[in-house]
Amino acid sequence: MDPFGRVVSENDTPSVLIVDDAMSNLELVEEVFVRAGFRVYSALDAYSALDIFRAEKIDIAVLDVMMPLVDGYQLCRELKELSERQFFPVILLTALADTRSRITGIECGADDFISKPFDRTELVTKARALLKIRALHDELEHTENVILALAATMEARDPYTHGHSTRVGEISRAFVSFMGLAKKDQDQIRKAGILHDVGKIGLSSTLLCKKGCLTHEEFDAIKRHPVIGEEICRPLLSMQGILPSIRSHHERWDGYGFPDGLKGDEIPLPARILAIADCFDAMVSDRPYREARSFDQVIGVFRHERSSGQWDPALVDLFLEMMHTMEPESIVHV
């Protein structure tokens, strides 16, 4: 039980992986964390540590730097890679106090760096602080997943757009990669693509699947979806960077788009990229009001309407250049 009389399960107890090739040091750090109420897993080398990490639910690692064969820096890198997207905190313990050693620790992904001999209270306090950050990351990821699931639910209501947002995300990511932008930008644009139409969750299935012409009132309702999507995603700090893309993906280069009538370079670059990817996938897909066009037909539309005012002409040129290097099937069925 905790101090308030609540039953604490093993899953509620934080776990720590301690790695040190010196048994005396290992036992010392073990004692510190056992006294602090942690579940402790320990290893004398990196290979044993990796086996434990794969088999058990580990919340944080405390690694000695100076170990034979695989040192703490390399083990830190491998633990971070195994954690994939999940934030996994690592503290490095070392007798080395020079700046170069600390820089190396930061470069390998370590979240904190404590010099030996260490203060017991400082070690546990820093470990608990990193676990709080991990909890916030987990909560954030859960909330993001809820919104991503919301986008999938929205698409499931309309058989004509099933998979559309995922494809827009992948096409946009491929385009940003072709442009030579960083992986962070590629990940951001992919997320924006997946969520660009999430605001349609507020529209009726009848309206989404309507085959005839829309009334002015119906079109005005559809034009609200970028703003609704922005509002859905706004509470999440991690999505602040994609809000302009979601809001502005229906703006036009000539200023006649919606919702804000932005023109030319006033439109955020990611939104201009999404606009091209969105239209491309829409044209190669079946819709209630028309059948899908072929890849060559869609490329012809982009070439013919390059300067029509809908898209950024320079981006269209780059997009067509990318398409020229790719097999049609790889981009249509992405």
CA distance 22 to 34: 18
Q: pLDDT for 64-78, tens place per residue?
A: 998 988 999 999 999
What number of other Cβ atoms are within 10 A of residue 116's Cβ?
13
CA distance 175 to 275: 12
Which listed CATH number (1.10.540.10, 3.40.50.2300, 1.10.4160.10, 2.60.40.10) goes with 10-137? 3.40.50.2300
Supply the pLDDT for residue 142.
66
Question: In this model, does residue 180 exceed pLDDT 70?
Answer: yes
Supply the pLDDT for residue 153.
66
CA distance 275 to 176: 13
Q: pLDDT for 68-109, tens place per residue?
A: 889 999 999 999 999 876 789 999 988 776 677 778 878 888
Q: Which residue ranges does the chain devote to CATH 1.10.3210.10?
A: 157-332
What number of other Cβ atoms are within 10 A of residue 75's Cβ?
27
- Crossing angle for the helix pair 225-233 and 120-156, to the nearest 10 degrees: 160
Supply the pLDDT for residue 141.
66
Confidence of residue 217 (pLDDT cuts 50, 70, 90): confident
Q: Are 113 and 92 in contact (CB under 8 A)?
A: yes
| Stretch among 23-37, 83-97, 140-154 having the lowest mean pLDDT | 140-154
Question: In this model, does residue 168 exceed pLDDT 90?
Answer: yes
3-state secondary structure of 334: coil
Average of per-residue pLDDT across 274-278: 96
Give the domain 157-332 fold: Hypothetical protein af1432 (1.10.3210)
Q: Would you state the structure tokens that stand for residue 154, as one six-digit string?
A: 């929205």
Supply the pLDDT for residue 31.
95
Average of per-residue pLDDT across 9-18: 78
What number of other Cβ atoms are within 10 A of residue 11's Cβ?
8
Q: Which residue ranges does the chain devote to CATH 3.40.50.2300?
A: 10-137
